[in-house]
Amino acid sequence: MATHLLRLGDFSKDELFAYIDRAIVLKQETAAGIRHTQLTGKTIAMIFEKASTRTRVSFEAAMYGLGGQVIFLSAKETQLARSEPLKDTALVMSRYVDGLVVRTYGQEVVTELARYSTIPVINALTDLFHPCQVLSDVMTVIEKKGSLANLKVGWVGDGNNMANSWIEAAAKLGFQLVLACPEGYAPQEDLLKEAQDESGGRISVVRDPVEAARDADVINTDVWASMGQESEQQERLDVFQGFQVDRQLLSHAKPDCIVLHCLPAHRGEEISAEVLEGGQSVAFDQAENKLHIHKAILEKHIA
């Protein structure tokens, strides 16, 4: 039976660490010039309904890097844009390719595709989650900090898809996560409650960014208006004043705190240019690690 990757909450701690451990090995092997061929003869289709630079290119490069093939489809050029049901799309795709990587709006789209698909469906971002991104982010934290033990991770900004996947990661992997979000922009209540119960109280939501930053080992942020929220951009610019990750906020964290941003970044909004491009930022390492984590994901799900 196909194993889908729709959200981190569907996996155990050991399974999540296995992706990261494997990605670290694949990264080392690639650096050593080892050629991988484990997906020779396999093809994935990627259906993207939203823009992407990193996720698209790193999934494609990962698939080719393992010897496989990719068919990229912009959703608006498929019959989905003319209301062909997701069910029929899943049934047809299952006859052509060995896996589907999907970027879309509603989480119910990937859930529906997975229901009818006999091939693995991998979530490459929905409005609710960005699981593959957070795996590469956690990999980056482990590379920089050695392990997740005793780490405090602060999230500053919107309680969005990235925040939700960080919440699921914290619940499963057991690190402290303090999210500072403006009123009305906290992560989804039911999802948060479930993760808090699982984590034994190591996940909290506060209003003050300084509380998230204080003594943090990791500070993490993301855009104030995600894809699909363009009409709220101006209103969000007002609401999120005071939530910028800048030198002042960073002064409350541990001196060796690292700063994460999944990119694309809006310099001068959620993060200052100085911090994004400064010595504590690991944003471009996160971006690189997407390639390696996607190889690990494809190897596990498609091989």
Q: What strands, in cross-sheet order, belong to the sheet with 176-180?
A: 203-206, 176-180, 152-156, 218-221, 258-261
Residue 53 interacting entry, from ligand NVA, ligand CP, none, C-beta within 5 to 8 Å by type? ligand CP
Shortest separation between residue 63's beta carbon and ligand CP, angstroms: 15
**Tokens at residue 294, please?**
């996607």
Q: How far is CA 269 from CA 69, 237, 243, in A?
A: 38, 8, 8
Q: State the maximum Cα–Cα separation within the chain, in Å, rounded to a whole number.
A: 55
Binding mask 134-173 for ligand NVA (x = CB under 6 A): --------------------------xxx-----------
Distance CA 195, CA 187 (A): 11
Q: Which is closer to ligand NVA, CB of 117 or CB of 226?
A: 226
Task: Give the C-alpha separation, 284 to 278, whole Å.
Answer: 11
Distance of closest approach, residue 7 Cβ to ligand NVA, in angstroms: 15
Q: Per rule CB under 6 A, is residue 97 in the interface with ligand NVA? A: no
* Cβ pair 26, 58 in contact under 8 A: no
268: left (phi over 0), alpha (psi -120 to 50) or beta: left
CB of 103 to ligand NVA, least distance (A): 9
| Chosen from ligand CP, ligand NVA, none, partner binding at 104 (C-beta under 5 to 8 Å by type) | none
- C-alpha 121/C-alpha 267 separation (Å) is 34
Please, what is the minimum distance in Å from the beta carbon of residue 44 to ligand CP?
16
**Least distance in Å: CB of 232 to ligand NVA?**
12
Find out whether 90 and 115 touch, Cβ atoms under 8 Å. Answer: yes
Amino acid (one-letter) located at 48: F
Binding site for ligand CP (CB under 6 A): 52-56, 125, 133, 262-263
Nearer to ligand NVA, 68 or 157 (CB): 157
- Please, which of residues 216-235 interact with ligand NVA by CB under 6 A? 222-223, 226-227
C-alpha–C-alpha distance, residues 291 and 58, integer Å: 5
Residue-wise over 134-143: b if at least 16 C-beta within 10 A, else e? bbbbbbbbbe
- What ranges make up the beta strands (E) of the chain? 43-48, 69-74, 99-103, 121-123, 152-156, 176-180, 203-206, 218-221, 258-261
28: helix, strand or coil = helix
Closest residue to ligand NVA: CB criterion:
226
Residue pair 209/180 in contact by the 8 Å Cβ criterion = yes
| Residue 222 binds which of ligand CP, ligand NVA, none (CB < 5-8 A, kind-dependent) | ligand NVA
How many residues at the interface with ligand NVA, by CB under 6 A? 10
Which of ligand NVA, ligand CP, none sits in contact with 161, Cβ below 5 to 8 A by type? ligand NVA
Identity of the residue, 16 or 262, whose beta carbon is nearer to ligand CP in the bound complex: 262
* Contact between residue 167 and residue 8 where contact means Cβ atoms under 8 Å apart: no
Provide the minimum distance between the beta carbon of 192 and ligand NVA in the complex, in angstroms, as a whole number: 17
Given the structure tokens 């943090």, which residue do they identify? 216
Among 141, 173, 262, 296, indicate the residue that binds ligand NVA (CB under 6 A): 262
- State the nearest-atom distance from the C-beta of 160 to ligand NVA, in Å: 5
Closer residue to ligand NVA, CB minimum distance, 4 or 130:
130
**Smallest separation (angstroms) from ligand CP to the CB of 30:** 20
Binding footprint of ligand NVA on the chain (CB under 6 A): 125, 130, 160-162, 222-223, 226-227, 262
